[in-house]
Amino acid sequence: MNLFLDALAWLTDPERVTGPNPLAERIGEHLWYTVLALVVSALIAVPLGYLIGHTGKGRQLAVLGSGAARALPSLGLLTIFTLIVGVGNAQVAAIAVFVILGVPSILAGAYAGVEAVDRSVVDAARAMGMTETQILFRVEAPLGLPLLLGGLRSAALQIIATAVLAAYVGLGGLGIYIQRGISLRTYDEMLGGAILIVLLALIVDALFAIAERVARRAIGSAPSRGRPRSERPEPLSTDRQSTLEEIR
């Protein structure tokens, strides 16, 4: 535990404000990469996801994309892109990698959100005379917002994690403390950096969790991960239980 006290001392040292590699600058870099990549990913993935969800065509694309994003090693993409565009342009390479890894989650969220909307609601909207565009933007998009936010949340976490590796292609960010700490054997720096990274990820995760909850409340639905009461395994007498389940 001594090591963690050292890390804490490192984090609170005035050097972190005035010295080289100030915390604020590295945190700023990390957040900047994350926000930029998230926005670019969303601009690509949300329209595509809505299109797939609304038309029901191209679902395989969404599934394939998720599989590919999981299978492709982020460190490999980061290093190969950097080599291809040249170390001087590493920033472009890194953003491209973040976007490649961010798009599938957002696409899946946008698509799943639209697809999860009750078909009878969509039919009702159509019967009321809404055009397809109106159905998408006034019915499907708002009702699918919680799932879209879920997708953005996964993408943001994926990008934050990959941005940690960006230090290895010379891009700074919070990963730089880990990289320096490992090569210089300054364990307080390494642990301090890791703690900051975890905190950043947890805070971003919590913000998205709150946004998801607000969105769910706004459209008036229960959290979809919640467990329907009908599935409680407890023994009512057996026939009563199945009757109750039928009613529900």
Composition of the chain by helix, strand, coil, percent to 5: 80, 0, 20
In the region spanning residues 186 to 245, those forming contacts with other proteins, defined by CB under 8 A, are: 187, 190-191, 193-195, 197-198, 201-202, 205, 225, 227, 230-233, 235, 238-239, 241-242, 245
Please tell me the distance from the alpha carbon of residue 126 to that of residue 128, in angstroms, as a whole number.
5
**At 28, which amino acid appears?**
G
Distances (CA, A) of 228 to 5, 81, 114, 240: 45, 46, 21, 17
Contact stretch for other proteins (CB under 8 A) within 8-16, 92-100, 129-137, 154-162: 154-162
Distances (CA, A) of 136 to 50, 117, 192, 227: 8, 11, 46, 28
51 is an interface residue for other proteins by CB under 8 A:
no
Please tell me the distance from the alpha carbon of residue 9 to that of residue 179, in angstroms, as a whole number.
19
178 is an interface residue for other proteins by CB under 8 A:
yes
182 is an interface residue for other proteins by CB under 8 A:
yes
Q: In 10 A of CB 76, how many CB atoms?
A: 10
Length of the chain: 248
- Minimum gap (Å) between residue 158 Cβ and other proteins: 5
Nearer to other proteins, 18 or 237 (CB): 237
Strands annotated E in the chain: none
- Minimum gap (Å) between residue 180 Cβ and other proteins: 12
Rg of the Cα trace of the chain?
23
Nearer to other proteins, 141 or 152 (CB): 152
Q: Identify the residue among 165, 171, 176, 215 touching other proteins (CB under 8 A).
A: 165
Point out which residues bind other proteins (CB under 8 A): 1, 3-4, 62-63, 66-67, 69-77, 79-80, 82-84, 105, 108-109, 112, 150-151, 154, 157-158, 160-162, 164-165, 168-169, 175, 178-179, 181-182, 187, 190-191, 193-195, 197-198, 201-202, 205, 225, 227, 230-233, 235, 238-239, 241-242, 245-246
